[in-house]
Amino acid sequence: MSTSAAESILPYADGDFYAFEQMLTDKERDRLAEVRNFLAREVRPIAVDCWNRGEFPMDLIPKLADIDLVSPVRRQGHSNLFAGLLHAEVTRADASISTFMGVHDGLFTGSIEALASQEQKDVWLPDIYSLKKIGAFGLTEPLGGSDVAGGTRTSARREGSNWILNGAKRWIGNATFSDWVVIYARDVEDNQVKGFLVDTTLEGFSTAKIDNKIALRTVQNADIALDNVMVPDFYKLAHANSFRDVNKVLKVTRLGVAWQAVGQQLAAFDVARRYAVERHQFGRPLASFQLVQSQLVQILGNAVSSMGMMVRLSQLEDAGQAKDEQSALAKAFTTERMRESVAIGRSILGGNGIVTDFGMGKIFADAEAIYSYEGTHEINTLVTGRAITGISAIV
């Protein structure tokens, strides 16, 4: 029996050491298996090449539409646990594609589902769900990241039956090829942050791709400029009237990023374990050395502990009991464990860990973006600290 064939029957080869997937329904497990097969066939083979070239595989979008991944909870009726494990699996195959889906599905579609009127949803969501319209999420600004809640500079001014938007956004994933972007802007009349669905073909709207990234190179992040962009009043999200409303979206998507951290650790485990079994040094497999086994177990422990936290948080979300600070702790904890895990994995591969050829170099680099977006580790730590002390350390 070959090494690969022998590995395929190992009971813990998939990294699900405590069998969390058994908590899914039979239907959900079958669906997850279907998506895994899709990812193995359509995403994994192209992931490294697209990353190296810094190009998004546009021909993948119709295939993603066919596999129907958008809105698994609200539209398809699955559990939040299934949605989380699904997002982790997409990340495991390629963090860039999972980020594309996280932007379109979590941030963009989530904004419409949570903050649009029923009339607006009826008009917009069919094309969004089918990926006929690709979306982006415009919140972060060139001078505003963690402080954007109180420091949004992009402005919105009401003029009759239209709104006039001016300002700039930065780090906006999908923006170079999206059809729509949800732009959050501060209303000059009442100083509240409001949301608008903006057609990217409107006069005064422009994008510029951000180059020279060391992480998520396949994701097309862009700077957005808004120069007197006129948006009809119907495209102002009916229930997006303050930053509190924006937070309804961010609380859920922060869970998605924590699940990405799980998926990234499982990806590191996959590559490091296989390499350790197949690579020989001193006439023996690397996996036969005690220190290497210790490193592999550390990656697994980090991944499993992160997964356990996310399983419980998903249950709370299903019950409508999840809180902002719980999402914040999950994002902070899982991404810190992820950073350690991918660093160990890179170390196991030695010199081969710093090139993308073996996969680990890409996994290692992509982790840095996941660590930073959707609230930095520091900000999420302070949100959690405020919850347990009653004292805010955020200026």
Q: Tell me, what CATH number does 382's domain have?
A: 1.20.140.10
Among candidate residues 169, 173, 342, the one with its CA nearest the CA of residue 261: 342
Question: 319 pLDDT exceeds 50?
Answer: yes
Domain count along the chain: 3
- Kindly state whether residues 144 and 125 are assigned to the same domain: no
Q: What is the CATH number of the domain that holds 158?
A: 2.40.110.10
Residue 327 lies in a domain: yes
CB 244 within 8 A of CB 259: no
Please tell me the distance from the alpha carbon of residue 331 to that of residue 353, in angstroms, as a whole number.
26
- Kindly state whether residues 168 and 87 are assigned to the same domain: no
Would you state the structure tokens that stand for residue 288, as one six-digit string? 């036969």
Residue 224 lies in a domain: yes
Please tell me the distance from the alpha carbon of residue 33 to that of residue 303, in angstroms, as a whole number.
20
Residue 273 lies in a domain: yes
- Kindly state whether residues 253 and 354 are assigned to the same domain: yes
Query: Which range among 39-48, 195-204, 373-382 shows the weakest confidence by mean pLDDT?
Result: 373-382
Given 241, 258, 283, the domain boundary residue is 241
- Kindly state whether residues 271 and 234 are assigned to the same domain: no
Residue 115 lies in a domain: yes
- Kindly state whether residues 316 and 382 are assigned to the same domain: yes
- Kindly state whether residues 218 and 303 are assigned to the same domain: no
Provide the domain limits for residue 254: 244-389
Q: What is the CATH number of the domain that holds 111?
A: 1.10.540.10
Rounded mean pLDDT, 162-168 = 98
- Kindly state whether residues 251 and 382 are assigned to the same domain: yes
* Phi, psi of 373, deg, nearest 5: -85, 170
pLDDT value of residue 8:
55
* Phi, psi of 158, deg, nearest 5: -80, 130
Among candidate residues 76, 78, 91, the one with its CA nearest the CA of residue 36: 91
Please tell me the distance from the alpha carbon of residue 85 to that of residue 75, in angstroms, as a whole number.
17
Residues of the chain with pLDDT > 70: what percent? 97
- Kindly state whether residues 232 and 272 are assigned to the same domain: no
Given 211, 241, 271, the domain boundary residue is 241
Given 129, 161, 179, the domain boundary residue is 129
Residue 271 lies in a domain: yes
Question: 363 pLDDT exceeds 80?
Answer: yes
Q: What angle do CA 76, 235, 114 make, to 5 degrees?
A: 35
Q: Tell me how far apart the 2 most distant CA atoms of the chain are, in Å.
A: 78
Q: How are beta strands 180-187 and 135-138 bridged, if at all?
A: parallel
- Kindly state whether residues 86 and 107 are assigned to the same domain: yes
Please tell me the distance from the alpha carbon of residue 145 to that of residue 189, in angstroms, as a whole number.
23
pLDDT band per the 50, 70, 90 thresholds, residue 72: very high
Query: Which range among 1-10, 82-91, 101-110, 237-246 shows the weakest confidence by mean pLDDT?
Result: 1-10
pLDDT value of residue 9:
59
Would you state the structure tokens that stand for residue 62, as one six-digit string? 């119709």
pLDDT value of residue 298:
98
Residue 80 lies in a domain: yes
Residue 184 lies in a domain: yes
Contacts 24+ apart (CB under 8 A), 311-317: 311/20, 311/23, 311/81, 311/84, 313/255, 313/258, 314/79, 314/80, 314/81, 314/83, 314/84, 314/255, 315/80, 315/81, 317/80, 317/252, 317/255
pLDDT in tens, 100-146: 999 999 999 999 999 999 999 999 999 999 999 999 999 999 987 77
- Kindly state whether residues 334 and 288 are assigned to the same domain: yes
- Kindly state whether residues 228 and 253 are assigned to the same domain: no
* Phi, psi of 159, deg, nearest 5: -135, 100
Among candidate residues 76, 71, 133, 132, the one with its CA nearest the CA of residue 107: 71
CB 338 within 8 A of CB 370: yes
Residues of the chain with pLDDT > 90: what percent? 91
Residue 394 lies in a domain: no
Map residue 203 onto helix, strand or coil.
coil
Residue tagged 């094309």 (tokens)? 127
pLDDT in tens, 275-308: 999 999 999 999 999 999 999 999 999 999 999 9
Task: Report if pTM > 0.75.
Answer: yes
DSSP class per residue in 39-54: IIIIIHHHHHHHHHHT
- Kindly state whether residues 330 and 276 are assigned to the same domain: yes
Q: Which amino acid is at 41?
A: R
**What rounded mean pLDDT belongs to the chain?**
94
**Under the phi-then-psi rule, with left for phi > 0, alpha for psi from -120 to 50, and beta for the rest, what region is 40?**
alpha
